[in-house]
Amino acid sequence: MADSAGIQQGSPAIGAAGLVPAAPGAGGTEGSGAARGSARIAVKKAQLRSSPRPKKLEKLGVYSSCKAEGACKCNGWKSQNPPPTPPQTEQQSNAVNLQEPCRSCSHTLGDHVTHLENVSEEEMNRLLGIVLDVEYLYTCIHKEEDADTKQVYFSLFKLLRKSILQMGKPMLEAQESPPFEKPSIEQGVNNFVQYKFSHLPSKERQTIMELAKMFLNQINYWQLETPSQRRQRVPNDDAAGYKVNYTRWLCYCNVPQFCDSLPRYETTQIFGRTLLRSVFTVMRKQLLEQARQEKDKLPPEKRTLILTHFPKFLSMLEEEVYSHNSPIWSQDFLAGAAGGQIPIHTVISAASVARPLYYSTSPVSVDPSTCGSVSPARKAASVLEPNPVGEKRKPSEPLSHEENKRPRVVGDIPMDLINEVMATITDPAAIPETSLLSAHSARDEAARLEERRGVIEFHVIGNSLNQKPNKRILMWLVGLQNVFSHQLPRMPKEYITRLVFDPKHKTLSLIKDGRVIGGICFRMFPSQGFTEIVFCAVTSNEQVKGYGTHLMNHLKEYHIKHEILNFLTYADEYAIGYFKKQGFSKDIKVPKSKYVGYIKDYEGATLMGCELNPSIPYTEFSVIIKKQKEIIKKLIERKQAQIRKVYPGLSCFKDGVRQIPIESIPGIRETGWKPVGKGKELKDPDQLYSTLKTILQHVKSHQNAWPFMEPVKKTEAPGYYQVIRFPMDLKTMSERLKSRYYTTRKLFMADMQRIFTNCREYNPPESEYYKCANLLEKFFYTKIKEAGLIEK
Ligand code: ACO
């Protein structure tokens, strides 16, 4: 069973049936025994139940105590002649002698079964069912190698034996009876479907429900790994907690699959998020792997469901399973939502950058990958802080609404295409497993994953004068004071202590294994529109693992929630690099009048500031960017595949044509090129003249216009006129304008464009001239857009 309990073998087949899991306990040595055993026991039970009554009595006598006078202690009749091998034929075995003495107590078989004299056939059959289960468990105990599993089998064996002796029903005696956690996995998954997909048209919703059903089915037949296997795989996990759940699972779900005299429950109905969390990652990986391996065997109608939708479904669900406060695990999931509606996403995520990641074509759906878990710091804050500061964003708050209402912009990539691309990149084969962090991972990725797996936690804590001190918070504050004192040796210890324990200061603390390993102490000045970061540190052996970045990202999200969008800090000279990487700069956006007199000036430190963008979900930002890059890469690949086409060369020039419109070049539009200047052509020559004159004046007055004011002098630029066939400059343009040469905006724009193109052709990119051309060109296009000569 040690092997059989292995998750690998236990995974039920998605298989050809698509939705139907394989037999319980499939795979493994004794595990497959569980499956085969289950069928074998069923056959044996049927045989035994149809055998004559004496035969049944003989079988039950073996498990019944002796009722002979004199208080015999024998608890089961033992035959003088143990059954021969091979067993006797049916005919012979039916010959039962109730007078045969017991090998152990010498009383007869009849003495052991007197209590069964008037028992109904039905009850006899029930007891015989238990007998066969006992015998099967006995074999399992002997074959089992895993100590924990063996122990559970043994307890169940004793329980079943006792119920035969007492003719009772097998009742598991445990401190807690099922369900062990609410909401159950089944309820949670149903909530998830409601939460994420309720807006979909019914056909699509049906598909999702099918996926959910399939997933739940898989869990119900999933072989959990033994506690020792798990300890080896995840050493830092809550081993005791897992063992309790494993034992419960064996007793209530697994063993009853083959020993049907025990009451059986579905894993998904009696366990909740805790058990799901302990199996999800491995399960997801194996299911996807299995789907890939079996893809050729899948019936055509299931292929898309399993190969395309299932991976996406699992990644979305994973996000909710590991998120610290996903609403799907809330007991009052539906009741809590206004008007009984499904709550909309409650996390910070209005990032416009995140938009293309919507999973469905519906504008209200939000892909979980764009808006991951709400910071546990926020969740914890409501519990730990005297004044809850970390509640979830309410559905009615503007950010989420704004997000849902965003209109689609002309030129946006069609949703269908994005969904199609998304489906390909959620395939784990396309995106490397997040746990296998590559050299190109974002710096906070490892920390983000650790947080999701519960290895680290973030809490905003502070001291309070009017609340009873909470021992845990005080311990953490002391821990923070230690981390800051060690990492900031130039700060007087007393000063650190004073600020960390000052009720006006709060600290975002990073906890690992119940211990503080870092934090950011800050003071909020809401009336001044900024927060001062006072101390920031991570304990030495945990530095450069991304914790500092993740801490800062949490702090940013915390402040967006509290509508403070500026940080100021006096950065230690060694920490300037770190702060720069977190988006801080020496260019302070907060007006001096707002902070002078409010924040402490530190000698030898540099004042740095960071302006927050409330649309950015900072803790998820790097993931979003990574996914977007992936999408864009795929879109480009698709486009390239479409336009990789060779057109015949242009022959018109041979026929004396000197110039053709760009848009007439075959294939140019397919590359995405669009003609510039799709703007308003000014019909009135005077209006055109005055518009162009204004633009030209602006351009000539620009600080980067100096190289282009006059025609290039041959003496200053040797060989210029050999390289540049059609020179142009601002003075010539002024003359042309004056002479009313520019009868259309196109002529004007073409001359101006020539100035920039010539410059870039003649000069190297690192030259001053080249840079001026780029800057002036940018300015020129801003001006003509402002004048409405081209579309904005
Ligand atoms: N100088 C330059 N870059 C740095 C520094 C530094 N001192 N510290 C970290 N970085 C870089 C890292 O190399 C990393 O960059 P990369 O991803 O491009 O390689 C990035 O900053 C973030 O690294 P993290 O792993 O996220 O940060 P870490 O967990 O190491 O925490 C911190 C950074 C808090 C500065 C930590 O190094 C520390 O505690 N240092 C000692 C205390 C200190 O100097 N605190 C700041 C004083 S100023 C004040 O408190 C207001």
Digit-coded pLDDT (tens) for 309-330: 888 889 889 888 988 778 888 8
194-203, 388-397, 462-471, 681-690: least confidently modelled range: 388-397
SS3 682: coil
103-112, 296-305, 458-467, 721-730: least confidently modelled range: 296-305
Rounded distance from Cα 155 to ligand 1 centre (Å): 54
Q: How confident is the model at residue 36 (pLDDT cuts 50, 70, 90)?
A: low
Q: Prior bond to 179 cis, omega within 30? A: yes
Ligand 1 atom at minimum distance from 574 CA: 7
Rounded distance from Cα 548 to ligand 1 centre (Å): 6
pLDDT value at position 440?
57
SS3 562: coil
pLDDT value at position 353?
23
The strand pairing partners of 511, in sequence order, are 457, 516
- The protein residue whose alpha carbon is closest to atom 29 in ligand 1 is 548
Alpha-carbon distance 706 to 768, whole Å? 11
CA dist 463 → 384, 467, 501, 525, 562 (Å): 10, 9, 5, 17, 19
As a whole number, mean pLDDT of residues 598-615 equals 89
pLDDT value at position 526?
94
Give the number of other Cβ atoms within 10 Å of residue 126's Cβ.
18
HSE-CB for 128 with a 13 A CA cutoff: 27
700 has a pLDDT exceeding 60: yes
CA angle 568–572–573, rounded 5-degree value: 120
SS3 522: strand
As a whole number, mean pLDDT of residues 41-60 equals 85
- The protein residue whose alpha carbon is closest to atom 28 in ligand 1 is 548
Q: Which residues of 492-504 are buried (b: 16+ CB within 10 A; e: fewer)?
A: eeeebbebbbeee
Q: Spell out the residues 6+ positions from residue 225 whose beta carbon is closer than 8 angstroms to its own.
A: 5, 6, 7, 233, 282
Give the number of other Cβ atoms within 10 Å of residue 667's Cβ.
11
Question: Which has the closest alpha carbon to 253: 517, 12, 24?
Answer: 24
Report the phi/psi class of residue 563: left, alpha or beta, with left for phi > 0 and alpha for psi in -120 to 50. left
What is the per-residue pLDDT across 195-245, written as a single tens digit (0 to 9) for each? 888 777 777 888 888 889 989 998 998 899 999 998 888 887 788 889 999
17 has a pLDDT exceeding 50: no
Rounded distance from Cα 572 to ligand 1 centre (Å): 11
Ligand 1 atom at minimum distance from 520 CA: 50
pLDDT value at position 630?
84
Sole residue written with tokens 């599993």: 149
As a whole number, mean pLDDT of residues 156-169 equals 90
pLDDT value at position 344?
24
Average pLDDT, the chain: 78
C-alpha of 85 from chain center: 58
Pocket-forming residues, ligand 1, beta carbon under 6 Å: 443, 487-488, 533, 535-538, 543-549, 569-572, 574-575, 577-578, 581
Rounded distance from Cα 730 to ligand 1 centre (Å): 51
In this predicted model, which residue has the larger pLDDT, 594 or 31?
594
pLDDT value at position 676?
59
pLDDT value at position 697?
95
What pairing do the DSSP bridges indicate for beta strands 505-512 and 606-611? unpaired
Q: Spell out the residues 6+ positions from residue 346 whose beta carbon is closer than 8 angstroms to its own.
A: 327, 374, 392, 393, 394, 395, 400
Q: How confident is the model at residue 680 (pLDDT cuts 50, 70, 90)?
A: low
CB 463 within 8 A of CB 497: no
Q: Inter-axis angle of helices 29-49 and 53-61, to 10 degrees?
A: 130
pLDDT value at position 587?
83
Q: How confident is the model at residue 699 (pLDDT cuts 50, 70, 90)?
A: very high
As a whole number, mean pLDDT of residues 668-684 equals 69
Q: Spell out the residues 6+ positions from residue 237 whose beta carbon is closer than 8 angstroms to its own.
A: 230, 231, 278
345 has a pLDDT exceeding 50: no
Question: Which has the closest alpha carbon to 555: 612, 623, 486?
Answer: 612
Alpha-carbon distance 12 to 291, whole Å? 11
Q: What is the pTM of this model?
A: 0.44
279-293, 371-385, 503-517: least confidently modelled range: 371-385
C-alpha of 782 from chain center: 42
- Using most ligand atoms within 8 A of CB, pick from 541, 572, 578 the residue to mutate for ligand 1: 578
Sole residue written with tokens 């419109």: 661
CA dihedral 485, 486, 490, 495 (to 10 degrees): 0
Question: Which has the closest alpha carbon to 25: 39, 9, 40?
Answer: 9
Rounded distance from Cα 581 to ligand 1 centre (Å): 9
As a whole number, mean pLDDT of residues 520-544 equals 96
151 has a pLDDT exceeding 70: yes
CB 4 within 8 A of CB 28: yes
Alpha-carbon distance 380 to 37, whole Å? 48
Report the phi/psi class of residue 526: left, alpha or beta, with left for phi > 0 and alpha for psi in -120 to 50. alpha
- The protein residue whose alpha carbon is closest to atom 11 in ligand 1 is 578
Alpha-carbon distance 792 to 774, whole Å? 19
377 has a pLDDT exceeding 70: no
- The protein residue whose alpha carbon is closest to atom 43 in ligand 1 is 537
* Residues designated as active site: 532
Alpha-carbon distance 556 to 578, whole Å? 15
Alpha-carbon distance 66 to 596, whole Å? 94
Q: How confident is the model at residue 654 (pLDDT cuts 50, 70, 90)?
A: confident
Q: Which residues of 605-625 are buried (b: 16+ CB within 10 A; e: fewer)?
A: bebbbbebebbbbbbbbbbbe
- Using most ligand atoms within 8 A of CB, pick from 544, 555, 572 the residue to mutate for ligand 1: 544
Ligand 1 atom at minimum distance from 488 CA: 42
> Which of 643-646's residues contact partners 24+ apart within 8 Å by CB, and which partners?
643/667, 643/670, 643/671, 645/670
Q: What is the DSSP letter of 519?
A: E
CA dist 342 → 273, 311, 440, 527 (Å): 20, 24, 38, 36
Structure tokens at 528: 């001044």
